[in-house]
Structure 1
Amino acid sequence: MPDALTIVPPGRPLRGRVAPPGSKSITNRALLLGALARGTSRLTGALKSDDTHHMANALRAMGVGVQEPDATGFTVTGTGRLRAPAAPLFLGNAGTATRFLTAAAALADGRVVLTGDAHMQKRPIAPLIAALRSLGVAAEAPTGCPPVTVQGRGGFDGDAVTIDAGLSSQYVSALLMLAACGRHPVTVALAGDAIGARGYIDLTCAAMRSFGATVEQQDNATWLVQPGGYAARDFHIEPDASAATYLWAAEMLTGGAIDIGAAPEAFTQPDARAHALILQLPHLPAEIDGSQMQDAVPTLAVLAAFNDTPVRFVGIANLRVKECDRISALATELSRLVPGMAVEDGDDLVVTPMPVGRFRPARIETYGDHRIAMALALAGLRVPGVTILDPGCVAKTYPDYWRDLGLLGVVLQPAT
């Protein structure tokens, strides 16, 4: 992969069929649940990317058998227990793996240290640490971010936990998946109403039930999880909805027809809600609430640059604690195309579209963030001279992104 790629506007509708990879969110949930189950689970349709490889490698280090029989499959053999790893678990910038394994480390038979790259060491995890402590789990993260140390005791005795999920729904998902391995029924409750991307909690509960757990949502802010652990099973993973948003957007920006092999209504992931908005280009609404489809916001923000009227994105404060500060990144990088086109207003992002004739060539900084790279590349479908720096960062969730654009007829030129 070159250090930079320049997208050549195709000048014609993009047509063809490309299949987005399997869901990152579901793959990492299924890997962990299979690891906590007794027996062998076969996962199909899975994503093979940096994030899921970090999860698989960490599980291997904790005594789980994880094999990869083909390009989209994992075979996971667990004993219902986890072993303390011999060395710290390095998880790159994989938020799902880091948060899920921080909770699961309570089930290990000794000390577990979880760390990541420089970006991961800036992503908050203190609310999850506080929640684990309330369950009697010995856990600490001195900076409030990784590295994390958990002293696993093979289980836990707590029966109720309250979690502040204002920064991430992943905290709730981590606790729910741990709760099924408790010694008693566990009540998981939200502290307040604020929660990022609630739909991902529904995704977690569905996956837990698929692996034999009993989890009941008692009200809008409370779940009851019964003990009993998980059972091995064969499990198919649907395509990644966040990845699909780039292909849906490419179709709209070029007036093309791209078959991704799955209908929008077939997705269970929250980001699939973005499809209905994407179809409205160039008449996107004046205000878009991104709180329940956070990973689709970069895609929608780039589309807003080609809308007929300005768009304000609200409910997106959590984007500041993703792989980078995505609100700031989007404002900065869109404004390289037309100065002032995107601005931060508190924790909102306001994008004011400009005539394409006012756009100028730009070298787009990606901040090591796969979603900034993939979303801003979409602008290059209409604007000459858009160059994406560090294009290899897409390997985090969509390693074949550039190949798939090429299959659709987009010319990508290595740049310096």
Structure 2
Amino acid sequence: MSSTSAIARITPAAGPLSGRVTLPGSKSVTNRALLVAALARGKSRLSGILRSDDTHHMMVALRAMGVEIEEIDATTLIVTGTGSLLAPDGPLFLGNAGTAVRFLTAAAALVDGQVTVTGDEHMQKRPIAPLVDTLRRLGVAASSATGCPPVVIDGTGTFETGDIAVSGQLSSQYISAIMMLAAMGEDESRIRIEGGAIGAVGYLHITAAVMRAFGATVTFPRTDLIVIEPGGYVATDYHVEPDASAATYLWAAEALTGGRIDIGTSARDFNQPDAAAYVPIVAFPRMPDVIEGSQMQDAIPTLAVLAAFSETPVRFTGIGNLRVKECDRIEALRDGLTRIRSDLATVEGDDLIVHGDPKLRGAHRPARIDSYADHRIAMCFALAGLLVDGIEIEDPMCVSKTFPDYWDVLRELGVRIKIEGL
């Protein structure tokens, strides 16, 4: 039986969850560091990296483009770059790794030859036309027949620099892709955000921090302008910080069960924007009436499930981009929550409203949750299973995308989980 037909059955926690957990490295930082190290000249040592489906796809693709990657241990790599990328022998298959697809679509402009970037059936439904259009404006021959992957790039090894206009409504991953490419240009690039400002600016600062670590000069002179100097990247040693999105599940498990889980890093020490979720999590069970989620998008699934047990309703705003993640996460959250109780969540436009009910704690509410093959949907609804009897998660092994040990971590904290159908 395949992993997609597997089911995880979760037994509610018998008491507070306590223990120490070693978090995986950040997926966002790992894939940025992998690409930038690949574009640098010389050997870079990356430590603390995440081993997951997404980072595996990125490493395989970079190797296919002539980058040498030596695996030292489970969390350490030596990446040897030459300052350029080669045309691969065949299409770059990247599964459902959004960061890898977006970043490599832009980086393919540096290849002198043709590159096809593609992914699985889920990835082939995720929009990429705005990035393709931006690359065309930079003089790169790029095309996508459906507006989603596959994308074909006929690279010449160069692209146009100067003023680059992008919409502030775009996914930050598109803009991050252009930022990392721009440092490889011959002249200064000025990325102007139309509409005043990008919503998820925190993710752009992650990109800038990685770029700076490898010698690039990136500034944000205004909220609507990013300036990147030419010069490429310099090989260096770089440590990837733990994943803040993964931390949110442990923080929420603490809040739900009254436990104490040591993740080895305090919330204030994370540079990733999802760490901002710590504030509404520790406010539980009196979460804010409105949570603006544009700066912590990957944490919204965690917060939404936590809100199901809050004393008052919670409205999530600024989360429109969740519709174009691994699945439409707004609808996936509404679907899962209403399987637990029919009126537990509603959607108004792009806002998600969760009608919290503390009486769900300890209730028997059989609900089979469709994970939509989305790691964050699977992981967040496991939190509901800590308090509600009868929660089952479909395709639980999709967590391998970013947190391969997730189920084992919960077991080590004392949660009884039975996975059937593998």
Q: Please state which band the TM-score falls in when normalised by the shorter chain.
A: over 0.9
What displacement does 1:358 show?
5.6
Corresponding residue number in structure 2 for 1:390: 395
Q: 1:263 aligns with which of 266, 283, 298?
A: 266
Residue-by-residue CA offset, 1:378-407 (whole Å, 9 max, x unaligned): 000001111111100000000000010011
Residue-by-residue CA offset, 1:3-61 (whole Å, 9 max, x unaligned): 11111112200000011100000000000000000000010000000000111110000
User: Partner of 1:312: helix, strand, or coil?
Assistant: strand
What displacement does 1:117 show?
0.7
What displacement does 1:359 show?
5.3
Corresponding residue number in structure 1 for 2:308: 305
User: Partner of 1:129: helix, strand, or coil?
Assistant: helix
Corresponding residue number in structure 1 for 2:406: 401
Pairs within 5 Å for 1:51-130: 51-130=54-133
- Judge conservation of contact 2:160–2:185 (CA < 8 Å) in 1: yes
Aligned: 1:411 with 2:406:
no
- Judge conservation of contact 1:140–1:148 (CA < 8 Å) in 2: yes
User: What CA distance in whole angstroms lies between the structure 1 residues aligned with 2:250 and 2:297?
Assistant: 17
Paired amino acid for 1:394:
V
The count of corresponding residues between Structure 1 and Structure 2 is 416
Residue-by-residue CA offset, 1:111-147 (whole Å, 9 max, x unaligned): 0100001111111111111111111111111211111
Pairs within 5 Å for 1:338-353: 338-353=341-356
Return 267-276 or 68-77, whichever deviates more.
68-77
Paired amino acid for 1:338:
R
User: Partner of 1:285: helix, strand, or coil?
Assistant: coil
User: What CA distance in whole angstroms lies between the structure 1 residues aligned with 2:389 and 2:206?
Assistant: 39
Return 220-229 or 293-302, whichever deviates more.
220-229
- Judge conservation of contact 2:197–2:224 (CA < 8 Å) in 1: no
Pairs within 5 Å for 1:1-400: 3-193=6-196, 195-354=198-357, 355-356=359-360, 360-400=365-405
- Judge conservation of contact 1:135–1:160 (CA < 8 Å) in 2: no
User: What CA distance in whole angstroms lies between the structure 2 residues aligned with 1:379 and 1:167?
Assistant: 32
Uncovered stretches (5+) of structure 2, i.e. residues with no partner? none
Paired amino acid for 1:411:
R
User: Partner of 1:145: helix, strand, or coil?
Assistant: coil
User: What CA distance in whole angstroms lies between the structure 1 residues aligned with 2:147 and 2:208?
Assistant: 27
- Judge conservation of contact 2:198–2:224 (CA < 8 Å) in 1: no
User: What CA distance in whole angstroms lies between the structure 2 residues aligned with 1:181 and 1:410?
Assistant: 48
Q: Provide the alpha-carbon RMSD of the alignment.
A: 1.2
User: Partner of 2:326: helix, strand, or coil?
Assistant: coil
User: Partner of 2:304: helix, strand, or coil?
Assistant: helix
What displacement does 1:167 show?
3.2
What displacement does 1:414 show?
2.7
Paired amino acid for 1:110:
G
- Give me the TM-score of the superposition, normalised by structure 1: 0.98
- Judge conservation of contact 1:338–1:359 (CA < 8 Å) in 2: no
Structure 1 ranges of 4+ moved more than 3 A: none
User: What CA distance in whole angstroms lies between the structure 2 residues aligned with 1:82 and 1:125?
Assistant: 22
Paired amino acid for 1:403:
D
